[in-house]
Amino acid sequence: MTTLAPFDPTPHEGQLVAAVEALRAHSGTVDGRALGQILRRHAKPDGVFSKSELIRGFRLLKARYGWSDEQEFVRRLRMKPVRTLSGVAPVTVLTKPFPCPGRCIFCPSDVRMPKSYLAREPGAQRAAQHAFDPYAQTLGRLLALHHTGHAVDKVELIILGGTWSFYPEAYKLWFVRRCFEAMNDFAGASAASDRGEPVALGDGPRPCVAAEVRVDGCSTTGGDYNRLVSRPARDSERPGRLEAQQRATWGELEAVHARNEGAAARCVGLVVETRPDHLDQAEVLRIRRLGATKVQIGYQSLDDAVLEANHRGHGVAATRCAMRLLREAGFKIHAHWMPNLLGSDPARDREDFARLWDDADFRPDELKIYPCSLIESAELMRFHQDGRWQPYATETLVELLADCLVSVPPYCRITRMIRDIPGDEIIVGNKVTNLRQVVEQTVAARGAVSRDIRAREVRGLSIEAADLHLEVVTYDTAIGEERFLQWLTPGGALCGFLRLSLPRISASLDEIAGSAMIREVHVYGRLARLGSTRTTGSLRAQHRGLGRRLIEAASEMAAAAGFTDLAVIAAVGTRDYYRGLDFRDGALYQHRALAMP
């Protein structure tokens, strides 16, 4: 069993108390410099206290020392506020190493990891420490966020690794069930941890191949990934035995879903990642039934010749088909796109990127841009060695990405521009770790601006609701019309948005045939604890009813367009919120009856 050890403040209690008192007494904002000075002044013999130690120490000792200002203390120390700026705590978990149906030549192989991940990527390291156990990964991450002062009452659970749709159904049910059980157990676990007690992070089996450097005489990287990860690493992990442990039923999953509706850590979004050619109607419904609200999908390229050169195993037609299915079902769509693939060049990449927005079949809501880099274990290595593939020069890549960034429409969020791959793992390719910043500087130097969501997010500014105005961006998709409703400040900062789908063709799923669909409601604001209404004297966006007003506006628009039912692809943890807004529960969605205008 893995256990999170309790924090013991006694060896350095005097210094810890002094540091806490100094921070509480500090007037004004505790910036990095002031914090550093205080921590150095009250350091332990082996170094300064971490923020996590200070917060855990505060919680353990507050009764004894009469500290009653925990919220303010935590606010002063909060690490990386941008992480939970949207009010939602992202929790990323990885599935176990498992065969992938893809043969993509740019994809690294490390049998210690699910396909495409590397053991030294930060998120992957955390997953491996917990042997890919979903409960331990989820609860461990929630507690780590809690111990560094983040609110985790609203959780976006992001399940990554290989091709989700290729894993056995029983494993997927078990995996998601265990993630929900961890969220449901968070209240008790965090309270125990705050009392200085150890917390069990689950007793799940080791569900992965061993992390030895060599497996069966082969390197853990490269080789036949699918064959190697199919081998049990030890007797206790023989496939039959492991599979018997990693199983759950739909009924068990629905029970933990129901408990999560009232849990302290509610799942307000669930994401899985998969390949276009492994999505059909049945799989889309399965994903929805698991509670998913968003799908990460690898486009990689919208050029058939490039897909073929890279042994992608499917063409653009499969991507079109998958997109229609996901759109019909109301999912948010987070696509991946890769410039510099074998067979492409900067001009071809520019054309390809334009297709993302010009062609109504694509138009994703979010996009990760991953310039192709060469990892030793990828098959691309031999194409590089014989001169058939070269990475772009940094200036070429930056110019290309700057052109891309300025052409992104306002309804899309560019979530990433590089992968977190350690530089020494990259044989050739981009090693600029702040590539996005460099690209943004290039855009600014041109006197241009990017309009993507991320560039316009309000980012912690105090705002006056009365100053906001609602703007609507309308665009076509493969199934109908999409309206992107956005709250903007006079300066153009984005405070919240809603994605409304008005289909022209009836969905094949009976429950939503003929329904308009709310695909996403997102209001920015860091004041995130449910039920809280005020922070240091200034109200923040989430508590001004901006979400509710977006939903009312969407209802009016849908009714005006002739719809009599407005469905919402609610996450498990937001069902109650929608019930309070007159939505009734359906099988997979919630619905509001619309009166004709």
Q: Which of 134, 149, 202, 298 binds ligand SF4 (CB under 6 A)?
A: 298
Nearer to ligand SF4, 104 or 468 (CB): 104
Contact range with ligand SF4 by CB under 6 A, out of 96-104, 202-210, 396-404, 528-536: 96-104
Nearer to ligand SF4, 202 or 391 (CB): 391
Nearer to ligand SF4, 352 or 482 (CB): 352
CA distances from 436 to 19, 123, 371, 411, 433 (A): 36, 20, 12, 19, 8
Sign of CA dihedral 310, 313, 317, 320: negative
Q: Is residue 97 within the footprint of ligand SF4 (CB under 6 A)?
A: no
Q: Is residue 296 within the footprint of ligand SF4 (CB under 6 A)?
A: no
Could you tell me if 133 and 247 are in contact, meaning their C-beta atoms sit under 8 angstroms apart?
A: no
Q: Which of 77, 100, 335, 453 binds ligand SF4 (CB under 6 A)?
A: 100
- CA geometry: angle 226, 231, 233, nearest 5 deg: 130
The least distance separating ligand SF4 from the CB of residue 338, rounded to whole angstroms, comes to 9
Residues shown for the chain: 597
Nearer to ligand SF4, 102 or 222 (CB): 102
The least distance separating ligand SF4 from the CB of residue 322, rounded to whole angstroms, comes to 13
The least distance separating ligand SF4 from the CB of residue 107, rounded to whole angstroms, comes to 3
Contact partners, residue 550, CB within 8 Å, separation at least 6: 470, 485, 487, 496, 497, 498, 521, 523
Q: Is residue 116 within the footprint of ligand SF4 (CB under 6 A)?
A: yes
Q: CA-to-CA distance for 6 and 379, rounded, in angstroms? A: 45
Contact range with ligand SF4 by CB under 6 A, out of 97-105, 362-370, 415-423, 529-537: 97-105
Nearer to ligand SF4, 121 or 328 (CB): 121
Contact range with ligand SF4 by CB under 6 A, out of 24-32, 100-108, 168-176, 214-222: 100-108
Nearer to ligand SF4, 226 or 407 (CB): 226
**Lookup: tokens for 94:** 């990885």
Closest alpha carbon to 266 in 530, 85, 499: 530
**Lookup: tokens for 249:** 């039923």
Could you tell me if 575 and 260 are in contact, meaning their C-beta atoms sit under 8 angstroms apart?
A: no
Chain-centre distance of CA 250, in angstroms?
Answer: 24
Q: CA-to-CA distance for 136 and 142, rounded, in angstroms? A: 10
Q: Is residue 107 within the footprint of ligand SF4 (CB under 6 A)?
A: yes
Contact partners, residue 349, CB within 8 Å, separation at least 6: 339, 340, 400
Instruction: Please list, residue by residue across 87-126, b when 16 or more beta carbons sit within 10 angstroms of its beta carbon and e when fewer do.
Output: bbbebbbbbbbbbbebebbbbbbbbbbbbbbbbebebbeb
Contacts of ligand SF4 in 384-413 (CB under 6 A): none
Q: Which of 20, 35, 91, 104 binds ligand SF4 (CB under 6 A)?
A: 104
Closest alpha carbon to 300 in 315, 287, 281: 315
Nearer to ligand SF4, 287 or 502 (CB): 287
Q: Judged by CB under 6 A, how many residues of this single chain contact ligand SF4?
A: 10
Say what angle helices 435-445 and 394-406 make with each other, to 10 degrees: 70
Nearer to ligand SF4, 94 or 104 (CB): 104
Query: What character string, x for contact with ligand SF4 (CB under 6 A) and - otherwise, covers 224-263?
Result: ----------------------------------------
Contacts of ligand SF4 in 262-291 (CB under 6 A): 275
Contact range with ligand SF4 by CB under 6 A, out of 99-107, 210-218, 449-457, 589-597: 99-107
Contact range with ligand SF4 by CB under 6 A, out of 72-80, 82-90, 102-110, 149-157: 102-110
The least distance separating ligand SF4 from the CB of residue 275, rounded to whole angstroms, comes to 5
The least distance separating ligand SF4 from the CB of residue 114, rounded to whole angstroms, comes to 8
Q: Which of 84, 137, 138, 163 binds ligand SF4 (CB under 6 A)?
A: 163
Beta strands in 504-589 (DSSP E): 516-523, 565-568, 584-585
The least distance separating ligand SF4 from the CB of residue 102, rounded to whole angstroms, comes to 3
Nearer to ligand SF4, 379 or 481 (CB): 379
Could you tell me if 61 and 196 are in contact, meaning their C-beta atoms sit under 8 angstroms apart?
A: no
Could you tell me if 487 and 468 are in contact, meaning their C-beta atoms sit under 8 angstroms apart?
A: yes
Contact range with ligand SF4 by CB under 6 A, out of 66-74, 98-106, 439-447, 499-507: 98-106
Could you give the residue ranges of the DSSP H alpha helices within 231-297?
239-245, 250-260, 281-289
Chain-centre distance of CA 396, in angstroms?
Answer: 29
Greatest Cα-to-Cα distance within the chain, rounded to the nearest angstrom: 71
Closest alpha carbon to 333 in 289, 387, 279: 279
φ and ψ of 484, to 5 deg: -110, 105
Q: Which of 9, 97, 102, 547 binds ligand SF4 (CB under 6 A)?
A: 102
Count other C-beta atoms under 10 Å from residue 284's C-beta: 23
Q: Which of 57, 140, 162, 222 binds ligand SF4 (CB under 6 A)?
A: 162
The least distance separating ligand SF4 from the CB of residue 393, rounded to whole angstroms, comes to 25
Nearer to ligand SF4, 116 or 590 (CB): 116
Residue type at position 503: P
Q: Is residue 544 within the footprint of ligand SF4 (CB under 6 A)?
A: no
Q: Which residue is nearest to ligand SF4 (CB)?
A: 102
Q: Which of 12, 78, 115, 294 binds ligand SF4 (CB under 6 A)?
A: 115
**Which residues here bind ligand SF4, judged by CB under 6 A?**
100, 102, 104, 107, 115-116, 162-163, 275, 298
